[in-house]
Structure 1
Amino acid sequence: MTHHPPTPWLRRPRPQPRPALRLLCLPHAGGSTALYRLWKDLLPPEVEPVLVCPPGREDRLDEPLPDGMPELVADLGRAVVPLLDRPWAVFGHSMGATVAHELVLWLLGRGHRAPEHLFVSAREAPQHHHGGTVHLLDDEALAAELIRLGGTAPELLAIPEVRQLVLPAVRGDYRLIETYAAEPAGPVPCPLTALTGASDTELTAEEAASWEKWTTSPFQLLTFPGGHFYLSERPYEVVDAVYRRLLTPA
């Protein structure tokens, strides 16, 4: 049995020594493993979910946030390498989609196996990168932005203690993605699926479809009812769509 040393970066709610495939799941800016809390019960037994927990949240609140995308990707990449003894795929939502793309390129650049599939959710392709100044907002405006996107319960952000815990990671992640250079090393050699919510105001269908440029393998665009957090509104449909594409050979 292969030994996989524990790492604070990765949570394995249903660990398996030899799964048919491991699915790495990356959260949005300021997000945590809670975004994928249902997936362990929805994915079939042969697929092991591996949830990414960046610094600044959950039990990593006291850890410093990465200074930039290269540092984040390198730290995560080193944590992921021991799990690449099995076939793997990666799903990233919003900022997590950008991190997922860069992570695949980082691993490939160091000779590691390619993923079976890259899923990019609710994120524009790199050539349409928006940037922004959300990370410069005061706490009140930053909380309002989270409420607008729909990923955080308003009643939680009304509690000062919760804001003190949540907003530093949110601000740090927004700073990272908004100052991201958006110049990936190139396309990936695996199938790539872009997923989006039909009423997501954060990107257009064209911006999502433009991910096709970033793979040398088959590409598909999937659109679901809902907004930026469509996957929380329709977890069964999304997980089923992901699994069906994992079953489809390149």
Structure 2
Amino acid sequence: MKFGIDSGWFRRYEAVTPRRRVLILPHAGGSAAYFRLWGQKFGQDTEVLVANYPGRHVRASEPFMLRMEELADAVTEALLPFLGLPLSIFGHSMGASLAYEVALRLEARHSVRLEGLHVSSRKAPHRLTPGTLYREGDDALVAEIQRLGGLEGVSLDDPALRALVLPAIRADFTIVGTYGPRSAIPVGCPVRGYVGDRDPAVTDTDMSAWADVAPRGYAQQVFPGGHFYLAEQRDALIRAVSGSPAGAR
């Protein structure tokens, strides 16, 4: 399996004989690079796509997107050439909200129903509250990143490094802060939720509200860890996502 091929919006990991696809939508401030090891873990029958958001890495010259609607519209359109195989979507944190919005658009605009919607470390759309952190100074952003355990092993004390990574984080926090609450519009596929048992921002009770948008079935799994439990629980999480479609409890 090739390490990865950049295909516009997606970093694409080609399977030998793909029978299905999994799209991964990163968290606020995240990039395809964070999930670089995931592409080779789903087996030779699954092609993995990881979203490249504008304004970072290979798309550094492009302007950031600042609204969930704009981002969801763009991702949905970019997915159209990849709809020939059964598709599941996994989204972590901000990516979970984005995954939900993409699922709704695929159904409403293109009559495409996902094989499974997998949401991680994010409250359900109708339980979200707007935030204003994106309007605050850099120190406040850094404090929140540290609280959540993001950028593990990276020090943001270096002004040059802050200047490099904080614009993307602020742009994504703008998306997060201006999104929600939304009506609990159901999706037409099973939904599976994941959360860390020590997440300072989202509890397992918060996650359980995703059942309200999942008439086709909702299941939930709690992993050891915090908001970024998926760093240490990667293989176990991939096994859970690979078991899609998500089933009812």
Task: Give your verdict on TM over 0.5.
Answer: yes
Q: What is the CA distance between 1:176 and its match in structure 2?
A: 1.1
- 2:173 is aligned to 174
How many percent of aligned residue pairs carry the same amino acid? 38
- 2:80 is aligned to 81
Task: Map 1:94-243 onto structure 2 (within 5 A).
Answer: 94-153=93-152, 155-184=154-183, 186-243=185-242
- 1:21 is aligned to 20
Tell me, yes or no, if the aligned pair for 1:18 and 1:86 is still in contact at 8 Å.
no
Aligned length: 244
Q: What is the CA distance between 1:48 and its match in structure 2?
A: 1.2
- 1:3 is aligned to none
Mean Cα deviation higher: 131-140 or 210-219: 131-140
| Deviation per residue, 1:31-66 (Å, 9 max, x gap) | 111232221222111111100011121121221112
- 2:59 is aligned to 60
Question: Could you tell me which amino acid in structure 1 is paired with residue 206 of structure 2?
Answer: E
Q: What is the CA distance between 1:226 and its match in structure 2?
A: 0.2
Tell me, yes or no, if the aligned pair for 2:66 and 2:172 is still in contact at 8 Å.
no
Give unmatched runs, 5+ long, in structure 2.
1-5
Tell me, yes or no, if the aligned pair for 1:94 and 1:121 is still in contact at 8 Å.
yes
Q: What is the CA distance between 1:139 and its match in structure 2?
A: 1.3
Question: Could you tell me which amino acid in structure 2 is paired with residue 11 of structure 1?
Answer: R
Q: Which portions of structure 1, spanning 4 or more consecutive aligned residues, are displaced by more than 3 angstroms?
A: 153-156, 245-249
Label 1:140 to 1:242 Cα distance change in 2 as closer, same or farther (>3 A).
Answer: same
Tell me, yes or no, if the aligned pair for 1:69 and 1:180 is still in contact at 8 Å.
yes
Tell me, yes or no, if the aligned pair for 1:188 and 1:216 is still in contact at 8 Å.
yes
Q: Secondary structure at the match of 1:157?
A: coil
Q: Secondary structure at the match of 2:243?
A: helix
Q: What is the CA distance between 1:29 and its match in structure 2?
A: 0.6
Q: Distance in 1 between matches of 2:247 and 2:17?
A: 20
TM superposition score normalised by structure 2: 0.91
- 2:3 is aligned to none
| Deviation per residue, 1:103-128 (Å, 9 max, x gap) | 01111111242110000000011121
Q: What is the CA distance between 1:7 and its match in structure 2?
A: 4.3
Question: Could you tell me which amino acid in structure 2 is paired with residue 240 of structure 1?
Answer: R
Mean Cα deviation higher: 85-94 or 175-184: 175-184
| Deviation per residue, 1:105-158 (Å, 9 max, x gap) | 111111242110000000011121022121122112212221221120354422
